[in-house]
Amino acid sequence: MADSLQHTLKTVFGFHGFRSPQQEVIERVVAGEDVFLVMPTGGGKSLCYQIPALHRDGVAIVVSPLISLMKDQVDALLANGVRAACFNSSLTTDEARRVSSQMERGELDLLYVAPERLMQSEFLERLATLKLALFAIDEAHCISQWGHDFRPDYVQIGRLRGLFPAVPIVAMTATADPETRKDIIRQLGIKEAAVYVAGFDRPNITYTVIPKQKPFAQLATFLNGRRDEAGIVYALSRKRVEQVTERLRGAGFAAAAYHAGLPDEERRRVQDAFRRDDLRIVVATVAFGMGIDKPNVRFVVHYDMPKSVESYYQETGRAGRDGLPSEALMLFGMGDVMTARSLIENSDNPERVRIELQKLNAMVAYAEALTCRRRALLAYFGDQRDHDCDNCDICTDPPRRFDASDLARKALSCVYRVGERFGARHVIDVLRGAKGQRILDLRHNELSTYGIGADLSSVEWDNIFRQLIHLGYLAQDFTRYGALGLAPSARAVLKGETQVVLGLPRDVAQVEEKSRRKSGAGEGAHRALFEELRALRKQIADTAGVPPFVVFSDATLVEMARNSPKNERELLSITGVGEHKLRKYGSQFLAAIDRSRTPEADHAALAPDLSDTLRATLALYREGLSVPEMAARRGLKDLTIIAHLEELAAAGLDIDLRRFVDADKIPLIEARLEALGAVTLTALREGLPESIGYNDVRLVRGAWGRGRQC
């Protein structure tokens, strides 16, 4: 069996080997056994039912929660030559009739359905007349009340075991703590299932949490330089989503909003534009994401803290599904905790409130941790690690420690003096000597602690209070609007018997400097070729009406750019290139790679010190774009693009600076240069017609100077 499975893996899906524990899971399902699988997003869960569907008789029924997710999966399977379809409410009458006919004639290997459609009595009766290969339950955590995304429709799926006792069930999720895993198995009635927990680690994701200070400024700083990359920004409320989207657009970012309050047509438009790489940034509530099977999301930003570690893990897991370096940034403030708590407590289900408050407390503990983020995240799911990851903000930029004993005594004393009845914001105002009317009305300006902390900013005090809570010196009562009280351990601090050591926070600028992203496309000429291949992929995808990743993933393009295959045999050795895609797209990609073998590409390879930003401009130059077009594509000023072009020319690349200047202006500028030499731009422009601008002069001067050197 192993050889047959390997053959399918390579020829159909273009992969050279299984990841652990894919092969063992697949062999069990092919043999007709039930399996419960926990595997991180991007780890290859889909293959664990798609390959068995091709090796068992009948049609595999795949339960999927969202229509868009079904469509992405089906598009990808069809691109690999697999017979697949979805059956849901988005189909027209004729389309539904065609899929029904295919199903009944045995012309499908996989059929994707929503849980509510699957469990309709009429549909179950039709399934009973067919040969069924297996049931695959995707996003299986939705069946459990302990799961972070519990869906009542999923509960009915538990009837399948009784209705189809001989059909194997494979249930999968990326997000389930031990309690949730037990509940899923119980709800599905698969207590004899082989259980595989493949780990939760996503090593390609860099995790960063920073204190929320000026959130939009922090977000904009993070996004600068990422304008050509796809990403998701999550916020807790619809109103916040709209506000952030509007401000991003005003700052020149290609962003769109997505939340449940928008019309269906608008949500579909945003989702399709994002999938097709026509839109770079989606600002969304948690309503967006589960249905997105987009592998080249390079970053996920949590503008607000999510309500649970499971939500955080799943949402950050939408970045880097292709395995390339990606980032997860969270802005964390105690105000987020209050907002999340109020949303949770709106429920009229006391048990659900209790569960979600426990999960919220765990999320806060993660955000405030001063230890390796990845270890803290994995430990929540029972995946203990004995080493740090070296790929999170704590590991790459450890917080500087300082003796905060005196500051802690001031903070704790002030909490005591105000009667342990107020939140951190009021206590900080008292410490800093604020003159607000409330402080005066309460006569807190007469306290001995009033103004004793005026030498620190509100942000600095906020960091201190957050850590004092995390370390257990202060208790926060959320039932009394976050009022702070002294914990038993505070007594030793106040008496000077305990030293308090805290960490200094890092701001987003420091994070940017410390954790410059590793370019997934590599350096040198590889980056320029990657950009060319990406442009070709987009053109092919647009013509076919499918998302670009259905053609090839970014990871496949990166490997093409690095290995530069010369023929079909070498192209077939690239991960993600199966025989069907080789026949369909091979000649076009080989031609593009062959065109890259030019003297200019050789020059690029000889200039390994070029930055990513210069290489990006070089790729646009080679597309034949004008300076304004390049500037618009990159979100930069014309002058910056011109500076890039000058640097590229100085590096020995074949850059024709005169290309961007009207032909009738060039002789006049060159005559001025011949007369005056390489003087300042101001001096050169004097005496020239007003129609000739400084950019014209600069470009011609650069070309003239290079000609003199040659």
Confidence of residue 604 (pLDDT cuts 50, 70, 90): very low
Pick the range with the lowest mean pLDDT from 136-150, 199-213, 613-627: 136-150
pLDDT digits (tens, 9 = 90+) for 419-436: 999 988 899 999 999 998
Q: Token pair of 256, please?
A: 């769109």
Q: State how far the Cα of 285 lies from the Cα of 81, in Å rounded to an integer.
A: 35
Q: Token pair of 308, please?
A: 């649970």
pLDDT digits (tens, 9 = 90+) for 429-467: 999 999 989 999 999 999 999 999 999 988 789 878 877
pLDDT digits (tens, 9 = 90+) for 458-504: 878 987 887 787 677 888 775 566 689 998 989 999 999 999 888 77
Q: Give pLDDT, residue 292.
A: 65
Q: Which of 305, 309, 367, 310 is nearest to 337 (CA)?
A: 305
Is 243 a residue whose pLDDT tops 90? yes
User: What kind of fold does domain 401-504 have according to CATH?
Assistant: Arc Repressor Mutant, subunit A (1.10.10)
Q: Give pLDDT, residue 658.
A: 86
Confidence of residue 676 (pLDDT cuts 50, 70, 90): confident
Q: State how far the Cα of 67 lies from the Cα of 492, in Å rounded to an integer.
A: 58
Is 602 a residue whose pLDDT tops 50? no
Assign domain 2-197 to its CATH superfamily: P-loop containing nucleotide triphosphate hydrolases (3.40.50.300)
DSSP state of 564: -
Answer whether 321's CB lies under 8 Å from 350's CB. Answer: no
Is 233 exposed, middle or buried (CB count within 10 Å of its CB: 0-12, 13-18, 19+)?
buried
Q: Give pLDDT, residue 551.
A: 93
Pick the range with the lowest mean pLDDT from 142-146, 194-198, 523-527, 554-558: 523-527
Residue 671 vs residue 257, higher pLDDT = 257
Is 52 a residue whose pLDDT tops 90? yes
Q: State how far the Cα of 34 lies from the Cα of 426, in Å rounded to an integer.
A: 57
Q: Give pLDDT, residue 284.
A: 92
Residue 4 vs residue 616, higher pLDDT = 4
Is 605 a residue whose pLDDT tops 50? no
pLDDT digits (tens, 9 = 90+) for 523-539: 445 777 888 898 899 99
Q: Give pLDDT, residue 150.
A: 66
Answer whether 135's CB lies under 8 Å from 58's CB. Answer: no
The whole-model pTM stands at 0.63
Confidence of residue 32 (pLDDT cuts 50, 70, 90): very high
Is 266 a residue whose pLDDT tops 80? yes
CATH number for region 525-634: 1.10.150.80
CATH class of 205-396: alpha beta
Q: Give pLDDT, residue 348.
A: 79
Mean pLDDT (whole number) for 197-212: 88
Q: State how far the Cα of 405 lies from the Cα of 368, in Å rounded to an integer.
A: 19
Q: Give pLDDT, residue 521.
A: 53
Is 291 a residue whose pLDDT tops 60? no
Cis peptide upstream of residue 52 (ω within 30 degrees of 0): no
